[in-house]
Amino acid sequence: MADDPKTLVSTDWLASHLKDPDLRILDASWYLPDAERDARAEYDEAHIPGARFFDLEEISDARSALPHMAPPVEKFMSRMRRMGVGDGHQVVVYDGAGLFSAARVWWLFRLMGQENVAVLDGGLPKWLAEGRATEDMPPIVKDRHMTVRFQNQLVRDVTQVSAASKLGAPQIVDARAPARFRGDAPEPREGLRAGHIPGSRNVPFSALLNEDGTMKSPEETRRIFESAGVDLAKPVITSCGSGVTAAVLSLALERMGKHDHSLYDGSWAEWGMFPTVPVATGDA
């Protein structure tokens, strides 16, 4: 894999840059309740040296009833200042699942106009499997200002997604498992209808990953999108259960050199709750 500090870097790359003064490492581990894992407790026990903990639930829009929606600009800036992450830093984000929630934090940084941010390919599991060092002490943090330029084109709301569903463009791509996409499996969140956004295509985020949690090559991911019926000539809106794994698709698209993608932040947590928007079942 070619390392790209704006999308995806290897454990070898991170190990060789660990002492860089302008490097900031973020542990963005987050799990669904059924995983029965405590991300913060795991961070406190062992993390990559120098890593700060990025709390996906706390660094979100507290005014929204929807889960972990993108935070207001001011809140993101204040939290990053407190974490000592700011202008001139190269950020590397990882998670404890391999490649799961880290992509969401990568997307959040991009949404805030930060481009020098990458996901650690294979995450903490690969780092540990290679016998690399961890520590249990939090880093010493100094305030750092971050200049934020919100990138409105990277996020979509229910009205914009509804229009795309009707018009067939942009192309909507759903990262959930096939059974949830078809409506055969119940949603993990209560009160949601089962199925998918009419006209959307299904590319389960796990299909883009190798067995060790690393991301497949841009050539392979392109073939997977195309075989799912995604027209890559059109702009793409990524979606999932609550806007987390949709970002894995966004990361894959960015690595493929496809930059006209956005993420439906409310995702199925919002669409499945709205009685006035249509739901499709079965295959796309």
- Cβ atoms < 10 Å from Cβ of 34: 7
Task: Give the residues across from 119 on adjacent strands.
Answer: 8, 93
Q: Which of 155, 240, 246, 249 is catalytic?
A: 240
176 given a catalytic annotation: no
Nearest-10 crossing angle of helices 246-255, 102-111: 70
Separation of alpha carbons 204 and 29, rounded Å: 20
What are the residues whose beta carbons fall under 8 Å from the beta carbon of 246, sequence distance 6 or more? 175, 205, 238, 239, 240, 263, 264, 267
Tokens 């490492």 -> residue: 25
Based on the number of CB atoms within 10 Å of its own CB, is 116 exposed (0-12), middle (13-18) or buried (19 or more)? middle
Identify whether 49 is preceded by a cis peptide bond (ω within 30 of 0). no
Residues that are catalytic: 240
